Every structure is written in C-alpha cells, then in structure tokens.
Structure 1
C-alpha cells in the first residue's frame, strides 16, 4: 500500500468507521445530487438556447449528450479497475476537477465540434464521479444492512437532482443567459465536489485486500465473467436501463399524443422521480424478508404491465396516472439492486471492476434505447414503443429469476 493509500485508509472497525461512513454517505449524497444536476439534467434546459446560439438543429445538439453517455459507458471498465486497485478518493477528486473545467468550457463553445469535444470530456468526468464510483466507495466501506441503508440514503437524496436543478437552471438562464448560467453551475459544482471528494472520501483498510495481488483480483473477474450468472445480470440491467431511459425521454410526448394537456403530462411524468424514491424504500424493506433478485423481478414485471396498459388505459386521467404509478415504482430499483447482487455473489474485492463491466452495456443502452424508440415511434407508432418497453421489463425480470435459481 502506498503512502497516499495509508493516509486515506481507515480501520475497518470501531466508532471511527461508523462516523467516517456517515460522513462519506453525506458527502457523496451532496456530490451526486449536484453532479447529476449539473453534468446531466441541466442539459435539457440549455437545449433551446444552445440550438439558437450555435445555429444547429435540436438533434445535432442532443447528439452531444448521447456522445457523453456513450463515453461514460466506454470508460466504465477502466474506472472500475482503478477503483478496485486504488479506491475512489483520487479518481473522484480528479473527475470533479475535469467536470468543473468541462462545464466552464461548455459555456464558451461557439460551434458543434467544440460542443462535442466538451461533452466527450463530460462523459469521462461522469464515469469518474457519478453513481458507479460512488457505489464502489460505499460497497467497500459497509457490510450487510449497513450497505443497503447507505445506498438507499444516497440514492434517495440524489434522486431529487432533477427536481432541484431543472428549475434552478431555468432561473439562472432566465436571469443571466445560458453561458453565464453554466459558469455559475460550474463554480458551484467545483467548490462543492472537489473538496468533499478530496477530504471526505476514504477507503476502508482491509489487510486481506491489501495483501491480495492484482493477479488474484483479475482471476476473480475472469471467473465471474465466464459464468452464466454474471451475464444474466448484464442482460437484466441492460434491458431495464433501456426501458427506464425510453420512458424518461418519451413519456411526456406520448401522454400529449394520447390527448392530455402538456402541463398534465409534465406533472404526471414528474411523479417518476418521487416514485423512484418510494420504490427504493419498498424494495429495501422487502429485501429484508426475501431475496433481492425475485423482489426486483416482481417490480420489473409491474413496470412492464404499466407500460403495456398505457396505450389502452392512458387516454383517461386515472388510467394515465395508474400506469405511471406502476412503472414509476421500479424507476430507481435497478440502481440499488445491482450493487447488492454483485457484492452478495462475488464479494467486494473486484466489485468495481465487475460493476464497470455491467455499466459498459447498461449505460450504452441508456443512450441508445431512446433513439431506437424514437425511430420505432415514427415508423410504427408509440403503442409499439410501449410494447417494446414491456418486453424489455419482462426480459429483465426473467433474467433475474434465472439468476436467482443458479
């Protein structure tokens, strides 16, 4: 273990670990909320003014965000290997610096190539600072129910990122213009995330892990990826990620097409964020009595039913709300279920590496699925899109049930 690792590592037992754990969860809750708000959700508010300023189409500008998400997916395996070998402190601090500089550069772009270059940097930064590395830090620090509670607390707080940053960004754009708004957001992110990652994030001291050579960790990864259970997890969470992303992008548009006023459609879609918190709370409670995989499979099945019923019942107010309620209960369940399943089956020594392998597929599908859904909607109609979403949820549920049997 290097000198830096010794300084940042904390003993695995005693009050120091408990206090340090609470500080880590609190710090990461703040940095994840601000990180998702600035690096991801704020983009939708900037879309219209950027389109006008760059003299580009909405599709051309939106392609920048798609490129960022795909870059995050490509970086995930490398980030995972680093986290397993070195922990999250240096990586997340460097990612915060990169994210701050990238958002500042975003405020100065004058052409599409510059915008795409900035968002490639944002994609790299996102891989270094958002959920995957944050979960790896928590999985390394906590065990058992403590881990479940820590992940739940983190995702509940961060789940309000869109609710906070969409209106906040709108106010900044309205008052200062989009370029100055980005400068404000960049500075706010930098002065918050950089010191919190540098000063609070720690790695739990584990003598057994410190003595484990990198080759042994690589053997653990190879053994995992050669087995069918790992690929069942990949299939489940890739399919589910695509379904969730599709609904997130297309729900408002589809509700309007079903005859609902835009304000009603946006309000109902806004329930997804609140319901994601509810779903996480319910799932965590049920997991204390039943295994995580069947619980998540049941929730994913309910989501599929909600998507399948939306074309049939969604023209009425009650039907639309009911279908969104069914789908929304599982909106954030995948986020907290995957870390539990990976750590439960494979341990924590190579958790981040394996999580990065899964993320490479699931995050890429998060970027690609809405584009494919838009094409399907134009070719065959939104009813077929909802059927495809239901099929993806069913696929995820069946994969988790097959995983549970092995």
Structure 2
C-alpha cells in the first residue's frame, strides 16, 4: 500500500508541475495573449530553479529532513498554482512558476528516491521500480483530467482545484507512507554532510553526463515529437495516435525490469540508452516505421527513471546517497531547462531532419558513456 500511495502522489506532483502546461498553455495564451515562448519559458525557469536547489535538497535529506521536505512540497506547489490562478500580469505568472520550481526540487523523483535510498539502502530498488511503474500512468491520467477541469471550470479554477488536490493528498500520504526520523537520528547525521563522497570523481562525472544527456533527449522528444512525426509525413491525428503508445511502453519496460531486478542496474542503464538510441535512429532512417520506433524509444525511456534512482544506489553507501543524487540532479535539470530554448533554435534554423539526427548523435554518445561506465566499474572491481 505505501508504494502505491507514493506512486499516486508522484502522479499528482508531476501533473501539478512539470506536465501542467502541456494542457494548460493553450487556454492561458488564448486568454492572456502572452506569447507561447514566454509561457513555456516560465516552465524552463522552474526546472532551472529545481536544478539549482537539488544539492541543497540532498543535504537536507541526508540530515534527516526528507519526510517533512516531501510533505512540504505539496504546500509549495499548491501555493504556486494559486498564484498562477490569480496571475493577470506575466510577472505574477513567472513568480508562480518560480515557486512551483521550488516545490519540484522538494517533491519529485530525485527527492523521493533520495529519501528512500537513505532510509532503506539497497532494498529501495524494488520500491523505486514500483513507484515508477505506477507513476508511468501520469500523463495518461493527468492530461485528460486537467483538460476536463479546464473544460468545466476554466484554467484559473482548474489551478485552484489542482492546488486543493495537492494539499489534501500530498501531506497525509507522505506522513503515512514514510517513517519519521527521530531527533537522535537527525543529530547523528550532520557529520556525513560535510564529508566528501566516497564516489570517485570519474564515476560521478560519468553518471552526471549519462543522466544529463538522457534528460535532454527526453525533454526534446517530449516537446518536439508531434512536430517531428508530422515532418516525417504523418497527419496530426496519426502523430497523436503513434505518440500515445509511449505511456504503455514505459510501463511495460518497468514490469520487465521487476522480473530482472537482481541484476546490476548498469545493465538496466545500458538497455535504456540502447533502446532510446535504436528507437530514434529507426525514426530517422525509416520514418514509415514510426510505430516500431516509439515502441523502442518508449521502452528505453521508461527504464530511464528507474536507472536514475537505482544506479547511484548501487555505487554509494545509503548515508551518501541523497548527497550524490542531489549533486547529480543539478546538471541534468539545468540541461533539461535549456533544452526547449536550444532545441527550438536548432529546429527553426536547421529543420526537423537535422534535429532528429542530432538527437541520434546524443543518444549514441550516451550508449558509449554507459559502456565506458561499465568498463570503469569492472576495472575497479578487478584485482590489481
């Protein structure tokens, strides 16, 4: 039951932050006449703020404040949504997304996985997989639900209703599902905060590069997939139909990972980046096989969230896990925040084909990085 509830609260948290503008941007633009660039730019800023705050979040979790931090994320996100509903000037809309960005740093995957890794060590792997399995239905549930609220009440009241849903669910679920940390346990932890991580710099930067590239590719594909498919000759209806397969594929790949959870997560990482690369390459070379392309890409992207939590867990002790994850989250989230701007520029200047081949190149580089990481791990384990 706790894993199911944690998965549900992640659906609500992602739906009330990262995925919100996918449905809400159009009615906002229609009413306010703000440019699309500025509306989506607010989301980029919120992701950037989340990345900048990630190391601080990791330190707070390592000090034993993770449960309260996660519970508080619902209050912060709700406050941002209420501000957004009241925003008749862009300055308040922008500020609202800055607040939501703080809530994202407090309550999305990186923070939750850090808390679980700190509390349960290696046993957290199955919990992380289970949570990502449930939250894999996020867009399938959140986008139609948000669209329904907007249709019935308008986008401003939809913001208030989403805020209310976060307030009545996030706090009680986290307080129920996660054990409290005693004052004595918190007092014993600050010594670990100032200690350097035992993870070798070479391994740390390899992980940072892998996670950053994976986040950039995912963000670019999420933003431009429909346009890329249309540029490949598909109608809008066909492109939407093909892209709809991503959610079930992500969930399916996570089910498969449960069956093979005893293996080292480096293999999950390899299958993730390899499937993503093959899927994008298939789309670039054989546009008519877009359905197969999305099956492969969706499966690889589904494993990405698991790898993000489990690979560092296999490489550092539990007391260092939150610190390492927090430090690694910063470059990945900064890259994610810059992707809409850079990706949009490349698409406008060079076109869909060049954009797709650039994504192929990044995906292949990530495959090489994962192979390099495995080589380093094997070398370090080998007797000298």
**TM-score, length-normalised on structure 2?**
0.92
2:16 corresponds in structure 1 to: 38
Q: Which moved more, 1:322-331 or 1:122-131?
A: 322-331
In the TM superposition, what whole-angstrom CA distance separates every residue of 1:58-114 from its partner, at most 9, and x where no partner exists?
111111111111111111010010001023221112221111111111111011111
Matched, 1:238 2:212: yes
What SS does structure 2 have at the residue aligned with 1:331?
A: helix
The CA distance in 2 between the partners of 1:278 and 1:310, in whole Å, is 21
The CA distance in 1 between the partners of 2:309 and 2:154, in whole Å, is 40
In the TM superposition, 1:6-405 aligns within 5 A as: 22-23=1-2, 25-144=3-122, 146-203=123-180, 214-221=190-197, 223-224=198-199, 227-288=201-262, 290-314=263-287, 316=288, 319-405=289-375
Equivalenced residues, count: 376
The CA distance in 1 between the partners of 2:102 and 2:177, in whole Å, is 22
The CA distance in 1 between the partners of 2:371 and 2:313, in whole Å, is 18
Asked whether the equivalents of residues 192 and 320 of structure 2 are also in contact (C-alpha less than 8 Å), the reply is: no
Name the CA shift for 1:213/1:326 in 2 (closer, same or farther; >3 Å): closer
Quote how far apart the aligned CAs of 1:284 are.
4.0
2:381 corresponds in structure 1 to: none
The CA distance in 2 between the partners of 1:63 and 1:307, in whole Å, is 26
Asked whether the equivalents of residues 156 and 277 of structure 1 are also in contact (C-alpha less than 8 Å), the reply is: yes
The CA distance in 2 between the partners of 1:247 and 1:190, in whole Å, is 31
Quote how far apart the aligned CAs of 1:368 are.
1.5
Quote how far apart the aligned CAs of 1:119 are.
0.3
Name the CA shift for 1:363/1:389 in 2 (closer, same or farther; >3 Å): same
The CA distance in 2 between the partners of 1:276 and 1:115, in whole Å, is 32
The CA distance in 1 between the partners of 2:373 and 2:261, in whole Å, is 16
In the TM superposition, what whole-angstrom CA distance separates every residue of 1:96-140 from its partner, at most 9, and x where no partner exists?
111111111111101111111000000001110111111122223
The CA distance in 2 between the partners of 1:80 and 1:143, in whole Å, is 15
The CA distance in 1 between the partners of 2:220 and 2:5, in whole Å, is 31
In the TM superposition, what whole-angstrom CA distance separates every residue of 1:17-45 from its partner, at most 9, and x where no partner exists?
xxxxx52x233112111111112222222
1:17 corresponds in structure 2 to: none
Name the CA shift for 1:189/1:210 in 2 (closer, same or farther; >3 Å): closer
The CA distance in 1 between the partners of 2:143 and 2:191, in whole Å, is 45
Name the CA shift for 1:215/1:160 in 2 (closer, same or farther; >3 Å): same
In the TM superposition, what whole-angstrom CA distance separates every residue of 1:179-199 from its partner, at most 9, and x where no partner exists?
111111111111111222234
The CA distance in 2 between the partners of 1:231 and 1:216, in whole Å, is 21
The CA distance in 2 between the partners of 1:71 and 1:211, in whole Å, is 29
- Unaligned runs of at least 5 residues, structure 2: 377-384
Asked whether the equivalents of residues 80 and 352 of structure 1 are also in contact (C-alpha less than 8 Å), the reply is: yes
Q: Which moved more, 1:245-254 or 1:85-94?
A: 85-94
The CA distance in 2 between the partners of 1:390 and 1:205, in whole Å, is 49
In the TM superposition, what whole-angstrom CA distance separates every residue of 1:329-348 from its partner, at most 9, and x where no partner exists?
11121211132221211111
Asked whether the equivalents of residues 272 and 301 of structure 2 are also in contact (C-alpha less than 8 Å), the reply is: no
The CA distance in 1 between the partners of 2:12 and 2:203, in whole Å, is 34
RMSD: 2.0
Quote how far apart the aligned CAs of 1:283 are.
3.3
Name the CA shift for 1:120/1:210 in 2 (closer, same or farther; >3 Å): closer
